[in-house]
Amino acid sequence: MTSEYLKFGSSLFGTDGVRGLANVYPMTPEIALALGQAVAHLFGGHRDSARSIVIGKDTRLSGYMFEDALAAGMCSMGSNVIQTGPIPTPGLAFLTRDLRCDAGVMISASHNIYQDNGIKFFARDGFKLRDNLEIKMEESIRNRTFESYRVSSEKIGRAKRIEDAAGRYGVFLKEKFPIDMTLRGLRVVLDCANGAAYKVGPTVLSELGADLITLGTRPDGRNINENCGSTDVRALSEAVRSSGADIGIALDGDADRCLLVSEKGDLIDGDEMLSMFAEDMSKRKVLKTPLVVATTMSNLGLEKYLQGLGVSLARTGVGDRYVVEEMRSKGTNLGGEQSGHIIFLDQNTTGDGLLTALQALAITIRSGRTLSELVSKFQRFPQVLVNLDVTERKPFAELGKFSEELRKIEGELAKTGRIIVRYSGTELKARIMIEGEDQATIEKFADSLASLLHVELGSSSVDN
């Protein structure tokens, strides 16, 4: 047993697969090899008939290392491997189904900086693995149970690369856009974050007829999400204003989320998009149930807006896969996150930034209204979000002064606001979100909690 495996005392998986600094535990090639073996074992790669697993990645430098390590592990268990090269996460989910694979694996740290990377898993139906399956994989690695299932030399799997992966996904996207519509006459600025959609995004929008201006389409392995994409829309907003564009589209590194910029250069977040999509789908009677699913982070303004449409809001924990699970259990087809993960469950199995953008464009064409007009009735409650770098994740209930102050603030907010305190599932950060009727009051509350947390957890920086 190597030292790598001795560190599995805590959970390997976070809210969206395994994630961390590349080449530092747990994001090492040794762990990737073991994950490849574990997922192949989980989905039956050791059986007599060979299984197939598809691997996609974004544009990070470390993606090559993890791609080969995963493939080696899968082949050692008798699974055949299909490598797509750079492909958006929703494209990988689609290809898992389209290629009739037994599982899919995406190598990406989404919106994080290039030094980070992650590995997330999809079942053959294109949905992310449920917690119980991730636990099985982790137990298999910790106990090394898959080792006895390595295949003999003559049954080792093959790895091959397919060159038309992005093209297949592009066709899928264009089929989701109304057949009687084109984008001719619309000027669109698209920021691909130097990420996975740098080819397929411009191709799809151009082929649909858009007058297209592109940003973030020159990845070099290190510039993914750097001053671009959904994490920084300043350049996009300026490009929309200066070019007189009708809309700006900001994707993240793996293109599973999308934020929009109106013709005025104003940011449109996931909550505003959900309000727009819910109203449109309700009017067209394609919202399967009068229910939208979002997370605890979505603004109270969304809940109030939906109530005016006769639509309820169900909340889940943070993470698009939890939104998807709730949508499936409730039988609804619209959900998402404030961060820009929007899920149209009758069209794809996960958040899809390009699909979201196309649906927004269809609404503007269908309504004849600008994006700013479509979201003009949405009224956001004042909100403060504070992110703190921390050195450890102690239960908040064990932090005496912080816990006491938190209970006090919860009592003062009562029914006029909300407070959410949680740790990030993908980064060593604590997040404090407060909503209320008065901006100054909630800022005071947030500052008080952040100061106490800074002392009790040894946080190194604060990011509002």
CATH of region 3-163, choose from 1.10.287.130, 3.90.1150.10, 3.40.120.10, 3.10.20.30: 3.40.120.10
Which of the four pLDDT bands, split at 50, 70 and 90, describes residue 15? confident
Q: What's the rounded Cα separation, in Å, for the pair 52 and 75?
A: 10
Query: Which of 47-56, 67-76, 183-192, 235-244 shows the lowest mean pLDDT across its residues?
Result: 47-56
In the chain, domain spans: 3-163, 168-374, 383-463
In angstroms, the Cα distances linking 47 to 41, 139, 146, 384, 398 are 9, 20, 12, 53, 48
Centre a 10 Å sphere on the Cβ of residue 124 and count the other Cβ atoms it contains: 17
**pLDDT, tens digit (0-9, with 9 covering 90-100), for 413-451:** 877 888 999 888 767 889 999 999 899 999 999 999 999
Which of the four pLDDT bands, split at 50, 70 and 90, describes residue 406? very high
Q: What's phi and psi for 169, nearest 5 deg?
A: -65, -40
Task: Check if CATH label 1.10.1030.10 holds for domain 168-374.
Answer: no
Are the beta carbons of 19 and 117 closer than 8 angstroms? yes
Domains 3-163 and 168-374 share a fold: yes
pLDDT of residue 147: 83
pLDDT of residue 208: 98
User: Which is more confidently placed, 460 or 293?
Assistant: 293
Query: Which of 7-21, 187-201, 338-352, 417-431 shows the lowest mean pLDDT across its residues?
Result: 7-21
- The structure tokens listed for 311 are 């639509």
| Percent of the chain clearing pLDDT 70 (strictly above) | 95
- Which among 58, 173, 194, 195 has a CA at the least distance from the CA of 120? 58
Q: What's the rounded Cα separation, in Å, for the pair 29 and 32?
A: 5
Q: What is the mean pLDDT of the chain?
A: 93
Are the beta carbons of 252 and 426 closer than 8 angstroms? no
pLDDT of residue 233: 98
**pLDDT, tens digit (0-9, with 9 covering 90-100), for 93-150:** 999 999 999 999 999 999 999 999 999 999 999 999 988 999 999 998 988 888 888 9
- The structure tokens listed for 208 are 């649909």
Told to judge if 110 belongs to the known catalytic residues of this protein, a careful annotator would answer yes
Q: Of all helices (H) and strands (E), which one includes residue 359?
A: helix 353-367
| Percent of the chain clearing pLDDT 90 (strictly above) | 81
- Which among 92, 89, 60, 57 has a CA at the least distance from the CA of 71? 57
CATH superfamily of 383-463: Alpha-D-phosphohexomutase, C-terminal domain (3.30.310.50)
**pLDDT, tens digit (0-9, with 9 covering 90-100), for 371-381:** 999 999 999 99
Averaged pLDDT for residues 380-394: 89
Q: What's the rounded Cα separation, in Å, for the pair 211 and 114?
A: 30
**pLDDT, tens digit (0-9, with 9 covering 90-100), for 29-70:** 999 999 999 999 998 754 555 689 999 999 999 999 999 999
**pLDDT, tens digit (0-9, with 9 covering 90-100), for 314-345:** 999 988 999 999 999 999 999 999 999 999 99
pLDDT at 14 exceeding the cut of 90:
no
pLDDT of residue 440: 94
Q: What is the CB-side half-sphere exposure of residue 187 using CA atoms within 13 A?
A: 11
Averaged pLDDT for residues 198-210: 98
From 52, 79, 110, 298, the catalytic residue: 110
First to last CA, the chain: 43
pLDDT of residue 415: 73
pLDDT at 295 exceeding the cut of 90:
yes
pLDDT of residue 50: 65
pLDDT of residue 121: 97
Which of the four pLDDT bands, split at 50, 70 and 90, describes residue 171? very high
In angstroms, the Cα distances linking 227 to 60, 224, 388, 433 are 15, 9, 20, 24
- The structure tokens listed for 116 are 């980070």
Q: What's the rounded Cα separation, in Å, for the pair 198 and 208?
A: 17
Averaged pLDDT for residues 266-271: 98
